[in-house]
Amino acid sequence: MDALTRRVRVGRWLPGMALRACNTVIGVFLVAPILIVMLSSFNPKQYFAFPPTGFTLRWYAALAGNTEIVAAFLFSLKLAILATTISTLLGTAMAVTLHRIRLLAAETVRGVIVAPLVVPGVVLGIALLLYFGQTDAVGPLVILLGAHVCLTLPFVFRIVTAGLESADRSIEDSAMSLGASRTVAVLTVTLPLIKGSILAAASFAFLTSFDEVVVTLFIAPPDTPTLPVYIFHYIQYNSDTLVAAAGTVMVLVGSLAAWLCSRKASLGRLF
């Protein structure tokens, strides 16, 4: 084998190897901290330590026995489900409408819908606080739900719009040419075509709401905090292994939502 052939061969496999190595490093960098938290949650030591020196499930038992954490978890779950339902319905309706009708100001409307993605959480939190701080007309729970809908709507809108763009519009047109009204065509043809996108959108919305902490900190209603806010305040005082267990439960809930979604929709196609 002459030197040139060898160089060409190396030139072929080297970029692939480099890319794989690079991806591995990025993967480890992203996943390692989460794994460390999960492994630490089984540590019998009361303070947060890694590597674990033994194995115990006592922190999970303590978690289940802590009424405040359980209440916070259930509240977060309810809030996320409610916010997801509203933003999925609204976001899908908006995406379908803006995709079908020609609107002069369509770009502006799109910009407004996705604005909460661009505005930093702290700014949005302060803005909501200032705005609703002047009135008692709206209850704190409604403000919190409204804020979570605001934060999750952009994800639904973007993902469903992407789904609509990749769906074959001629099928909907065929349905209409065969006598279906626009409403019937959208409900029976378009929506089933993009149901994968809608499901992906809903799981993103759920995860966004379930994990949200910055905006919620400013507008949290009295008596029951959300789980992320509870954990945020908890670690101001204690850094025990209970937090690692609570964090692991949150990761599992998130992974479950992502797994359910990946079974029904190809996430890779959406971005």
Partner 1 sequence: MRTATISRRQLLAAGATTLAVPALARTADAQPAAADFKGERMVVNSFGGPFGAAWKQHVVEPFQNTFNAQLAVVDAITGEVTAKVLASRGNPQLDVVILGDSGAAILAQQGLFEPLTEATVPNLKELIGIARLPGDVYAEFLFASEVLVYNKNQVKDPPTSWKDLYSPQYKQHILIPDLGNSVSGPVFLVHQAELNGGSVTNIDPGFEALTRLKPNVITYWTSMQQFANMMSSGEAWLGVWSSDRAAALIKSGAPVALAPLQEKPALFGNAIGVVKNTKHLKLAQSYTNFVLSTNVQSNFLSAVMLAPTNKNAVLSAAAKPFVVDPNGADVIDWATVAKEMPSWLDRWNRTITQ
Q: Are 87 and 79 in contact (CB under 8 A)?
A: no
Closest CA to 207 of 256, 142, 162: 256
In angstroms, the Cα distances linking 229 to 7, 76, 218 are: 57, 10, 10
CB 210 within 8 A of CB 254: yes
Tokens 């084998």 -> residue? 1
CB of 35 vs partner 1, minimal distance in Å: 16
Least gap, CB of 235 to partner 1 (angstroms): 5
Query: Computed over its alpha carbons, how large is the radius of gyration of the chain?
Result: 24
- CB-nearer residue toward partner 1: 239 or 262: 239
* Comparison of 200 and 217: residue with beta carbon closer to partner 1: 217
Q: Return the amino acid letter for 148.
A: H
Considering the complex, state which of residue 49 and residue 267 has its C-beta at the smaller distance from partner 1.
49
Check if the beta carbon of residue 155 is closer than 8 Å to that of residue 261. Answer: no
CB of 228 to partner 1, least distance (A): 12
- Cβ distance to partner 1 smaller for residue 79 or 217: 217
Residues that bind partner 1 (CB under 8 A): 45-50, 68, 126, 129-130, 133-136, 217-218, 220-223, 225, 229-230, 232-240
Cβ 231 to partner 1, closest distance in Å? 9
